[in-house]
Amino acid sequence: MTQSNKKNSEAGEKAAEAPKKIIPKITPRCTLCGDCLTRCPTKSIFVGGNQAVIDTDTCQGCHVCVSVCNERAIVDQMGGIIKLGER
């Protein structure tokens, strides 16, 4: 194996091992109160049309939005509510 192929192989293995981030989902229960928008540390939530939207490219999966949502309108992708610190 050449040095270049070895580096590419190692990079691929590291990428495969990297933990996947779980991006929360905003459900129709959202009332657009804005709590999640103001508390998101990466500013990944914005209002688009009549609903809040999570930018999956910038969201880091920290779930602060889930924990601050009083309407319980933001859930993990599996449909459950996660409180901060439970991940």
State yes or no: pLDDT of 86 exceeds 70: no
Give per-residue pLDDT as tens, 6-45: 555 565 555 556 567 789 999 999 999 999 999 999 999 9
State the CB neighbour count (10 A cutoff) for residue 48: 9
Question: Are 27 and 2 within 8 A, CB to CB?
Answer: no
Whole-angstrom distance between the N-terminal and C-terminal Cα of the chain?
40
Provide the CATH number for the domain formed by 21-87 in this structure: 3.30.70.20
Q: Greater confidence, 59 or 78?
A: 59
Whether the full predicted model's pTM is greater than 0.85, yes or no, is: no
Structure tokens at 42: 């990466």
Q: Greater confidence, 49 or 58?
A: 58
Domain boundary assignment for the chain: 21-87
Question: Are 26 and 52 within 8 A, CB to CB?
Answer: yes
